[in-house]
Every structure is written in C-alpha cells, then in structure tokens.
Amino acid sequence: MSTSEFNLPDVGEGLTEAEIVAWRVKAGDTVVVNQVLVEIETAKSLVELPSPFAGVVTAILVPEGQTVDVGTPIISVSSDGAPAAPAPAEPTQADLDARGAVSDTAGSISSEEGQGAVLVGYGIKGQVSSRRQRGAVAPAATTPAASARPSSVPAASASTIVAKPPIRKLAKDLGVNLGEVNPTGLAGEITRDDVIRQASQASLFRNIETPAWSSDREERIPVKGVRKAIATAMVSSAFSAPHVSLFVDVDATRTMEFVKRLKNSADFAGVKVSPLLIMAKAMIWAVRRNPTVNAQWTDSEIIVKHYVNFGIAAATPRGLIVPNIKDAQELSIRELASAIEQLTITARDGKTSPADQTGGTITVTNIGVFGMDTGTPILNPGEAGIVALGTIKQKPWVVDGEVRPRFVTTLGASFDHRIVDGDVASRFLADVASIIEEPALLLD
C-alpha cells in the first residue's frame, strides 16, 4: 500500500505556523485532487487547503484547534483505491434544452476553462468580474410613472422571486433571504438597494440585541492567529514609528450629491457606491501630489512608492485586517468601486488571502460607519500614512456668511514623522479635504 503524507504548506509570505480550524474529511473518506481537506487559520486569514493526492484518507495527524509549524505532516492518504476521473458524458437533448433556458434567462453561462490541479495554497478560484459584458443593455432611466408607483410591493414568495443573477449573488454574499425582501423594481423585481436595505435592517436588529450575562465569571481567549498578529503589528508600529496626527473638518455636501448621481447613473448599475469611494480617489490623487506619504522607512533608506496599493482597514468577525487593492492608481472610479466592493465582501467572509494583506502603501479606516466623528489611527506597519474617515452628518455650517445645514465630516490622519514632515502631511490632508469638498476636481 502506497501512503503519502501532506505537510502543512507555507500559504503566505514567510508563514511559520497555522492552526487547524476544521477538517472537511475524516479517516476512511475517499478524496480527489483539489478537494478541500482542511481549513486553517494563519496570522492573516482563513485558508482552505486542497488535496494534492487522490486516494483514501488513512489518518488525521493533527486534531482541530492545534497550532503546528509549517512542514508538519497533518494528514495521510493512501493511493490504493484512488478514484478514476470519470469520462465526460455526452449531453442529452434535455441537457441542451436546459442549458439554453439558463442562457436565455441569465444572459450568459459561466465558464470554468483553464482550471488545473492546484496542489497547495488556496485551491481553484473562479474568475470574478464586475465589468459590464459587451452588448449589455443599460437599465432604462427612471420615468415619472416609475416615481408614482408604490415604494414597495409585498415580499415575493420563493416561487415568484424575480431577481437578476448579480442580485442573487449579492444576497447570498450578504446572507439575505430573497423571500423576505420587499421588491421595489418597476416589474416587481428585487433591486440591489432592496437587498442592501434588508441586510442593513438585519444587521441593526442583531446589533440592538442585548445578550444575557454569561454564567462564567471570566472568559479566557487564547492570543493566537489574527489577534496575535494584530497585537504584534500595532505594538511594533506604535513604538517604532513616531506618529504625528492632524485633523480637519470638511463640508462633504458635494461628495454626498456626487455619490447620489453615481448611484443613479446607468454606468454604475450593479456597483456599490459610497463616500468611501470618493475618499479613496481623493487619497490616491493626493498621493500623486505628495508622494512621500506613500513611502516606507528602512534603516538605510526611504523607499518612495510610485504606485498605490490602497489598503482599507476592515473589521471582521476574526479581528481587524487591512487588505489592499493593488495598483489602485490605474483604476477608473467605476473599477475602483468594484474593487472596494469585492474586497469588503471577501474580508467579511473571512476569505482574504495573505497576499492581499501584504504590500500595502497607504490606508484608510472608515470609522464613520460606526458613528464615530474622528480618531487617531495607528499606522499599518511599513506604511507612512493612514486617514480616518469620520461619520458624515448634517451640521450647521457657515456658507457665504450664512449658517446653513451641510453634510460635514472630520478627517483624522497619522503619519510617520521620520518620513513625512509637518508641511507635507498638512498639504496631503488639505488635498484630500479639497476633493471631499469638491469632487469635480477629480476630473481635472
């Protein structure tokens, strides 16, 4: 009998250990190449490990909950009785008819071409794209008749749910049951806003629930995985990089108007648009004018990056992570919106890869979503600048000598004072504020 052992691989840059979170197989199970064997937690993220072997599982060598070093054998698989790959069956006429029906409804059939064997790492991933397909018809503009229809219709039953495939995917990503959503589309279909509204309401109800006191007087949480990595990074950043922080109040009324126009634009149909998108564009624009805020300190030199790997601090059930969008300076505003949306969904699902959490050059933290006005953010290790976007709400504001209600926010920023002098930090934050005050400057 030929038996092979699968050693814990390095799925990140310099990974030294990982925790076995959940086995997806057990002794005696038959597995095929690329079948997910186990879910592990590294210092950066949850990762699914696919099988490099086909055969029968002979033993689970490391139990769930245990942390082991890279290179440690974690499972053994016997090649005896390995399943042979089945030959593709000839499609029947019923299959062809069914495929045609799906094609007519969804507009296209997803392809899985080019997927080969993956022995270690993250497994096979499908192509994710939010770009509009060639020949796609833009949604019709809202008409006066549309505004006159009721704002909602009764929630659809499971058999009468009308929603496009992207909306169904969004609902799945957000954990929304489409049967509980009130559709507001012109033809009774569920729209993107309907799904987001339902998800927000569910989140609100969860947040206002007050759990009962635990019967245990104390809870001890092991310091490992992401929590350990966060603690190490924050201590290193706080005590190695001398922070200097600046704050500025900004009239964001035109940003809110701009966001509203983008939401109503056919070019942005199916893409989430928020003030964070304008904030990201503003920071990328300001980096080009003040490049030293996009730099890294070493003991011998300052490395100024002439590209922007834009980091977004994300609060997840597993803790704070900072995934980044590679070469964000090359993206259009619509492409950036899609990238931010995908980054957020992936982070919330705990599927952010280690590679997506390394190489960042500058970061934004959106504390406004928690109702906070501002804060003093700590630099992401290896970066020289971070900006906190506070809540945007109406406040009295002086305009042309008159007090008027305006949408106002506060920006808080921290910089590595070894690299960024006070004047550069001030100019950078002033540039960001100028875009938030007048997004039309992005068109220059």
Q: Is the pTM of this model over 0.85?
A: no
Asked if residues 40 and 23 have their Cβ atoms less than 8 Å apart, the reply is no
Residues found in the chain: 444
Token pair listed for 2: 């030929």
pLDDT value, residue 140: 43
Give the C-alpha separation, 244 to 251, whole Å: 24
pLDDT value, residue 152: 45
Q: Dihedral sign for Cα 190, 194, 200, 202, please.
A: negative
Low pLDDT (below 50) residues in the chain: 85-88, 94-158, 204
Give the C-alpha separation, 200 to 205, whole Å: 9
**DSSP string spanning 306-342?**
SS--EEE-EEETTEEE--EETTGGG--HHHHHHHHHH
pLDDT value, residue 130: 40
Q: Which of 396, 367, 381 is nearest to 251 (CA)?
A: 396
Residue of 417, 430, 437, 442 with catalytic role: 417
Q: Is 306 labeled as catalytic in the residue annotation?
A: no
N- to C-terminal Cα separation, the chain: 70
Asked if residues 230 and 217 have their Cβ atoms less than 8 Å apart, the reply is no
Token pair listed for 185: 């589309």
- Helices (H), strands (E): how many in the chain? 9, 19
The 3-class secondary structure across 379-440, one letter per residue, is: CCCCCCEEEEECCCEEEEEEECCEEEEEEEEEEEEEEECCCCCHHHHHHHHHHHHHHHHCHH
Backbone angles phi, psi at 415, to 5 degrees: -135, 155
Measured over all CA atoms, what is the biggest interatomic distance in the chain, rounded to whole angstroms? 87
Q: Beta 73-78 vs 67-69: how paired, if at all?
A: unpaired
pLDDT in tens, 25-46: 999 899 998 888 998 877 667 7
Strand partners, 397: 404
Strand partners, 59: 76
Give the C-alpha separation, 193 to 39, whole Å: 33
pLDDT value, residue 41: 79
Instruction: Name the helix (H) or strand (E) containing 248.
Output: strand 243-251
Strand partners, 412: 247, 388
Residue 10, CA atoms < 13 Å, CB-side half-sphere: 5
pLDDT value, residue 114: 38
- Which domains, and CATH codes, for the chain? 3-78 (2.40.50.100), 150-206 (4.10.320.10), 229-443 (3.30.559.10)
Q: What is the DSSP letter of 290?
A: S
Question: From the CB of residue 176, how many other CB atoms can be counted at a distance below 10 Å?
Answer: 23
Q: Which of 368, 300, 294, 289 is nearest to 324 (CA)?
A: 294
- Amino acid, res. 300: S
Q: What is the DSSP letter of 140?
A: P
Question: From the CB of residue 402, how many other CB atoms can be counted at a distance below 10 Å?
Answer: 7
Q: Which of 224, 222, 226, 174 is nearest to 354 (CA)?
A: 226
pLDDT value, residue 408: 96
pLDDT value, residue 138: 43
Asked if residues 42 and 15 have their Cβ atoms less than 8 Å apart, the reply is yes
pLDDT in tens, 359-401: 999 999 999 988 899 999 999 999 999 999 999 999 999 999 9
